[in-house]
Structure 1
Amino acid sequence: MELDRDHIHQLMNEKVMGVINATDEQLLQNALQEYPELQAEFEQLQQEYAIWAQQPSIQELNSEAAFAYIEDELQHRKSQKRKRLTISMLLVAATILALIIFIYPLTTTQQKHTPASPVLAKNTLQLKLSNGDVIDLSTRKDSITINNNTQLNNTNNALTYTAKDNATTTQQLNSLWVPPGMDYHITLSDGTIVFLNSATTLKFPFQFTGHSREITIHGEAYLQVAKDPNRPFILHTPQGAVQVLGTTFNVNSYDSGRVKVSLVDGAVSFATPEKQTLLKPGQALTYIQDKSTTLTALNENELLWIKGRYKLDNTPMTEITKVLPRWYGVQVVIDNPQTAAKRFTGTILKAEPIQEFLDAIKLTTGADSYYKDGILHIR
């Protein structure tokens, strides 16, 4: 196999951080066998990560500490612009070769024949095809043939597919919906990998045509965007379009009329009806519709969901109640204004029952909770 060292180094870092997919892991193993000199680099990287894992503070915080390290390395790289990345710095460059989108799901009622949305899809993992057919990916596994020309492979919590070049349906948009409490990932036709968090809709074609690659996301996603200098990757959000000029950035669009773009590495531009803004690494742009645009520092906590964590830092209860429906599929109501004003610092772990988090809330803030008619009340 022809050796692409930059790509192999990326896969090394994805492996030690636990975010590599099965296809890339096999590619990495093949490269290590064919090029023995890479094995020493990989072992050194594993040793560095193991040292972190043995520290008590990192055993407690896990990915929070890792991403704090990324922030430190970003600062170091600013003073080392012309130097090649060391093995430890590759942990920064490749682990988060990603785009993270935080867009709170739509809650308005949609009509029956509109594209899949959080309201329509309910609690099943669904792929709605451009012709209106709906495939329940929660129950249909392995190989699925559709339209006599497109082959889906739904295994290991992931979707891959192949489509014939002459298939007209490959140019039309499909909608993939991931319900609350689940996560899923899909590999697009150009090789871009999209990790989808709970309560998220991805609209995409089976094949990209023309001079650009365009998708739309409502919810939260982590993307490893395949490089293609001839076709920019454009991601549409409710507040504007993000064009990928590099590879690593974060988008947060929880609130209506507000969007935040944080750039880790490379280059992105954010376009609104008023203007287009190019960000520098380490910058975060906050755009409030018809009001203002401000620049602040990147916040690494926004990257933690890929590890099943949501970091809360003196967060008001009103913000927390936006997270719980997406991660646990439960409607939440705050009973009184005093409780709504309370703040909490800690971490929500998706793998743990919601009661574990509610117990922590009660212990630290005194806010109790109960269920009534299937709705979670916090008082």
Structure 2
Amino acid sequence: MYMNSAEEIHKLMTEKLAGIISAADDQWLEDLIEEDPVVREKWEMLSGAPVPAPPAPWKEVIDFKPKKPLYKILLPYAIAAAVLGATAMAIWQVAPWKKSRPTAASAPVAINYAKHVTLQLADKSVILLDTADAVLIIQGQQISNKNNILYLNTLSRLPAGQNTLQVPAGKKYDVVLPDGSLVSLNAATTLSFPSKFEGRNREISVNGEAYLKIAPQARQPFLVHLPHTTVEVLGTSFNINSYDNSKIRVCLVDGKVKVKAGKKEVLVKPGQQAIFNEQTTSLRTQPFNATVELGWQKGLYSFSDTPLNEVCESIFRWYGVKAVLDNQDLNKRKFSALLEKSTPLSFLLEGVKATTGTDYYFSADSTLHFK
């Protein structure tokens, strides 16, 4: 029996980085990396192995001023190596590898839904969007599913009830809702929405991070439910971040929104963000930096005096690699950087090490540890 699991290959790559891979698995993986360009691309993204280190990898970014200098990893060679981009990553998830790893027993490989962008309809049926055809058939109707965008505004009907779209770590996906509103979902984000917007309001729920462009309908306000807060919209563009449910941010690009938390509410103006703190129950507004809050849509991710436990969370969202702190005192160390989404994990880890003095290693279960 031979394994065709992308998850298994990813695990072996992590073991290889950690130096705990067996000789047999290492030889099999080396052969696969050499023979298959998609696997080779994945390996280069994780390890940065073929990428020559730039002479000055950390460069100050002028237009952003955190409490400490912010640095940028320059990856001209890494970006050039990542020419397959999103298409290659999509193939990576589903390609039947030419060379397979021998296993001890013959058994079918179960689908790991946590690794895929999924749409669960109200009737509980599940569609793997990132491996599905460019044209889907739902309820006998054709809908477009191209370039990581699902168009639901062309449907006249869906199974009645709530639908849930889930985006896993390391991926992004866009959906055009039945009313024509666009929701761009970042990694590790869940969107729940009805089959049809009826009644006084259009209502959806988001957990994670998303950028929304709401179709104007003055007679039917748009409500976005987040953990502990609700955003009321009247035709606008804004970003929401609820990765940390205890500190929710709503950044308004244009239009008008009202953010509610319990009995408190604030009106947000363009260029401002509303911040809700669960611990203090405070709800306030302040200006936001577009590079920091909106950069993820262009493949840029920012850290600004970010505690290392939050860096660990970001590593999981971007690379699907679990990361932990061996000593919670390490959380006092802060990391600042502006990174390309294509940054190899090894470059990011070396950046953390260089700027915070925090070393790292991988344990036998492929968990990344900062020490």
1:276 maps to what in 2? Answer: 265
CA distance 1:236–1:359, shift in 2 (3 Å): same
Task: Find the aligned partners of 2:245 and 2:185 in 1 and give their Cα distance.
Answer: 21
Within 2, Cα distance between the matches of 1:267 and 1:250? Answer: 13
What corresponds to 1:261 in structure 2?
250
Report the residue type matching 1:333 in the other structure. Answer: V
Aligned to 1:207: 196
Q: How many pairs were matched up?
A: 264
Q: CA deviation at 1:200?
A: 1.0
Cα distance 1:337–1:257, how it changes in 2: closer, same or farther (>3 A)? Answer: closer
* 1:218 Cα deviation from its structure 2 partner: 1.2
Q: Are the counterparts in 2 of residues 192 and 223 from structure 1 also a CA contact under 8 Å?
A: yes
Measured at CA, do residues 258 and 315 of structure 1 come closer, stay the same or move farther in structure 2, by a change above 3 Å? closer
Secondary structure of 2:116's partner?
coil
Q: 1:129 aligns with which of 101, 109, 121?
A: 121
- CA deviations on 1:287-314 (whole Å, 9 max, x unpaired) are 2236323333223221111111111122
User: Where in structure 2 are the equivalents of 1:187-226 lying within 5 Å?
Assistant: 187-226=176-215
Residue number in structure 1 paired with 2:55: none
Deviation sequence 1:308-337 (CA, Å, 0-9, x none):
111112222122112111111111111123
Q: TM-score, normalised to structure 2's length? A: 0.65
Pick aligned residue for 2:144 from 132, 150, 153: 153
Q: 1:338 to 1:277 in 2, by over 3 A?
A: closer
Asked whether the 8 Å contact 1:241–1:271 carries over to 2, the reply is yes
Change (3 A) 1:235 1:121: farther
- Partners of 1:164 and 1:282 lie apart in 2 by 34
Deviations 1:166-194 (A, max 9, x none): x462x421111111111111111221111
What residue ranges of structure 2 are gaps of 5+ in the alignment? 1-58, 66-111
Alignment of 1:135-174 (within 5 A): 135-148=127-140, 150-161=141-152, 165=156, 167=157, 169=159, 171-174=160-163
Q: Residues 196 and 284 (structure 1 numbering): CA distance in 2 closer, same or farther, change over 3 Å?
A: closer
For residue 346 of structure 1, the aligned residue among 337, 341, 359 is: 337
- Partner Cα separation in structure 2 for residue 266 and residue 137 of structure 1: 31
In structure 2, what is the Cα distance between the partners aligned to 1:312 and 1:287?
A: 20
Would you say the 8 A contact 1:262–1:299 is kept in 2?
no
The Cα RMSD (Å) is: 2.5
CA distance in 2, matches of 1:185, 1:342: 35
Taking a change above 3 Å as real, the CA distance of residues 185 and 251 of structure 1, as seen in their structure-2 partners, is closer
Equivalent pair of 2:172/2:185 in contact (CA under 8 Å): yes
Letter in 2 for 1:154: N
8 Å CA contact retained: 2:261, 2:276: no
Amino-acid identity (%)? 38
**Within 1, Cα distance between the matches of 2:199 and 2:262?**
23
Aligned to 2:357: 366
For the 8 Å contact 1:181–1:350, the answer to whether it is kept is no
Q: Rate the CA distance shift 1:156–1:285 in 2: closer, same or farther, 3 A.
A: closer
TM-score of the aligned structures, taking structure 1 as reference length? 0.64
Residues 287 and 294 in structure 1, CA contact (< 8 A), matched pair in contact too: yes
CA–CA distance in 1 between the matches of 2:158 and 2:151? 19
After TM superposition, the structure 1 = structure 2 runs for residues 1-379 of structure 1, keeping only pairs within 5 Å, are 121-148=113-140, 150-161=141-152, 165=156, 167=157, 169=159, 171-289=160-278, 291-300=281-290, 301-372=292-363, 373-379=365-371
1:61 Cα deviation (Å)? 8.6
Q: Given the superposition, is the C-alpha separation of residues 181 and 168 from structure 1 closer, same or farther in structure 2, using an over 3 Å criterion?
A: closer
CA gap of 1:318–1:162, structure 2 versus 1, over 3 A, is closer
Maintained 8 Å contact 1:163/1:206 = no
Moved more, 221-230 or 292-301: 292-301
Report which stretch shifted further, 288-297 or 184-193: 288-297
Bigger share in helix = 1
Q: 1:157/1:345 Cα in 2 relative to 1: closer, same or farther (>3 Å)?
A: same
1:143 & 1:262 partners in 2: Cα distance?
34
Structure 2 vs 1, CA of residues 335 and 236 (structure 1 numbering), >3 Å: closer, same or farther? same
CA deviation after TM superposition for structure 1 residue 163, in Å: 5.7
Q: CA deviation at 1:285?
A: 2.8
Deviation, 1:130, is 0.6
